Structure formats: C-alpha cells, structure tokens
Structure 1
C-alpha cells in the first residue's frame, strides 16, 4: 500500500488511547531493554534483571507495568514466573524502534549488515 492508497479510516478513541499507552511504556530505557531481551524467548525475572543490570525489585515493577499494558504475558512454573512478549506485534514494534534508532548513528546500521559482519559485531559486543 503506497501513500496515495493508505488507510483513511478514523481510529476509535479507545484504540488511540491504548496506542499512546504503548508508546508511554516504550519511553523508558529499562523497559525497551526488557522487551528486546524477550524477543523470541521467555525468561524469569532474575535472568531479566541480570540481563539489564538492574535489581530484581526494579525489574519486577517495570514488568508489572508492561503486563498491565498487555505488552508481556506470564507463565508460572513452580515458584518461578516466566515472561514473554504478548504477541508478534510487540516484537515487531520494538524491533522497528531499535532499527529506526540505528539509522541515526554513524555507519551502516546493524540490521543492514551481512551475516558475517553481524557475527563479528556480536562477538565484539560480547568480548
């Protein structure tokens, strides 16, 4: 669909309000890190806290907000709660935001690099 044939329907106010809430949730670096970490997998709070370098209570508060905004879902296994993205749209939204941000930096954005370049980039980042 090109610009001349784009959708012109009026959005219901409640959908606009929900979209604004999603953007509000994405307006926090810790929450973006958490959502990014959950793309394609589920993780318990402790691993997420370690991943983002924040204390478990802080991460739990962020996850509660993300859950209330329907961006993450949970699954209990014994005493442990696992978090995952609510749906593929959340993964796409976060991925698109990160890829858009990569275009603001110098050089070739990471998502435009070859497989070999990406492996080297991730090896450097992990070293």
Structure 2
C-alpha cells in the first residue's frame, strides 16, 4: 500500500467531524479487526485499509450511493 492511500488520525478526525481521540479509538478497533493497518512516523499514526476486498467493497458502496 502506498502512502497516497494513508491518512493520519488527525485527517480522519477532520473528515468525520470528531476528536482525534475518538477517531484514534475507532481506527484502533478497525486495526484489531484486521480491516486497517497502521504505521507510526514520529508522533503521527497513519492508517490504511489492510485488505483489497474491503477496499473494493467500500468503492462499490460509494459508487452505489452516488447513483
């Protein structure tokens, strides 16, 4: 997975309109479920989807929602 497909916790929090702590909690839960993976760079943690099947499902759901 390339860095273009990653978001830091603060970016996810801004997108979903919540605090960094709440976003971090939910992202950690997704990581524990093996739906997301993380890497740490200094104090920042970057998350990305861990499974191409999950990526495909999300892409299909977003395309369907736009119809």
TM superposition score category, shorter chain reference: 0.7 to 0.9
Measure how far apart 1:57 and its partner are: 1.2
Q: How does 1:6-21 map to 2 (within 5 A)?
A: none
Q: Which residue of 2 aligns with 1:84?
A: 48
Which blocks of at least 5 consecutive residues in structure 1 are unaligned?
1-39, 103-108, 110-127
Cα deviation code 1:73-117 (max 9, x no counterpart): 001111211101102211101112223334xxxxxx2xxxxxxxx
Q: CA–CA distance in 2 between the matches of 1:60 and 1:81?
A: 9
| Structure 2 gaps, min length 5 | none
CA RMSD between the two structures: 1.5
Greater per-residue strand proportion: 2
CA distance in 2, matches of 1:101, 1:50: 21
Higher relative contact order (CA closer than 8 Å, sequence separation 6+): 2
Aligned mates of 2:58, 2:52 — CA distance in 1: 10
Q: Report the TM-score when normalising by structure 2.
A: 0.80
- Off by >3 Å, runs of 4+ in structure 1: none
Count of aligned pairs between the two proteins? 64
TM-score (norm 1): 0.46
| Greater Rg over alpha carbons, structure | 1
